[in-house]
A = this chain, B = another copy of it.
Amino acid sequence: MMVRVSDITEHGAPPSTASPPPEPLRPPDPTPAPRRTAGEEARTLVAGATQGVLASLTADGAPWGSVVTYGALGDGAPVMLVSLMAEHTRNLEADARASLVVAEPPNDDNPLDRGRVTLAGRTVRPAGAARASARAAHLAAMPSAELYVDFEDFRLFVLEVERVRWVGGYGRMESVDAASYAAAAADPVAPHADGAVAHLNEDHADALLAMAVALAGFTDASAARCERADRYGLELVVETPRGTARPRVGFAAPVAAPAGLRAACVELTRRARAG
């Protein structure tokens, strides 16, 4: 088998031997169904966890990784609470450069097909009003830290993000500049998306098939399931006699709050059945 380098993604996707996916047989519904931007993906990963791996520098300039907990400020800058007894704290006090990796938990089937992000920059010890904001951001994510956040042998550090590298899985990766990262929003529906997807697949296969036919334009679809949900819409896996397609179908408007996902799916179903 001949495989070109360009067939392989940065993180080692197996080369595809499949034929290209089928196209819709009629024009899809015009409602936009954008994917989240890389900045939104990065912010969503950071908002969805409270633990990451910090890379810092030892006294001789070697890279040192260690687990830290964090909360995030409104601009997505992580706030870590660390003990003076920990090696990473000595490292940050001597050299402020650091990066934080936040990753989705690996799945057994394919650990590389998961989202992760590296935030790189410099750490600062916030003071005054900045310390109060940082303290609140950390405690919002880690309420149990209330017990020791104010001890004199603990330090709050804010990572001022200068560079962001997001990897969404095989073949999806992008660098994000600091301003785009700070301006992007975490997806409000992310915490509930897995549950919504499971519910759609278990109880609403007929609605998903209607979406595949009427909204995605696969009029020969025999079955459809939902693979992912985000604030902009659903990703479907559609079976047709011509092969498997993975179209997106867009919500009438981006969902602005966690509770809005259900109503957006109901509207999508109604539109599909009317279509």
Contact = CB atoms under 8 A, between A and B. Distances in A.
B106 A167 contact: no
A212 to B, nearest CB: 29
Interface stretch (A59-67, A246-254, A256-264): A59-67
A99 B145 contact: no
A99 B53 CA distance: 11
A97 B62 contact: yes
Contact of A14 (B5, B66, B148, B153): B148
Contacts of A51: 103, 106, 111-112
A61 B55 CA distance: 12
A165 B67 CA distance: 11
Given A66-B118, A100-B65, A10 B105 contact: no
B55 A8 contact: no
A165 B87 contact: yes
Contact of A63 (B8, B55, B110, B116): B55
Interface in A115-155: 116, 118, 120, 142, 144-145, 147-148, 151, 153-154
Interface in A167-223: 167
A106 to B, nearest CB: 5
Given A81-B12, A83-B10, A55 B50 contact: no
Given A51-B106, A63-B64, A118-B65, A8 B151 contact: yes
A54 interface: yes
Interface in A28-56: 49-51, 53-56
B100 A147 contact: no
Nearest to A153: B5
Given A5-B153, A8-B153, A65-B118, 16 more contacts: A11-B83, A12-B145, A14-B147, A14-B148, A49-B106, A53-B55, A53-B65, A57-B61, A57-B62, A62-B97, A62-B99, A65-B101, A67-B103, A67-B167, A110-B144, A111-B142
8 contacts: A8-B151, A9-B85, A14-B148, A54-B65, A63-B97, A65-B99, A65-B100, A67-B103
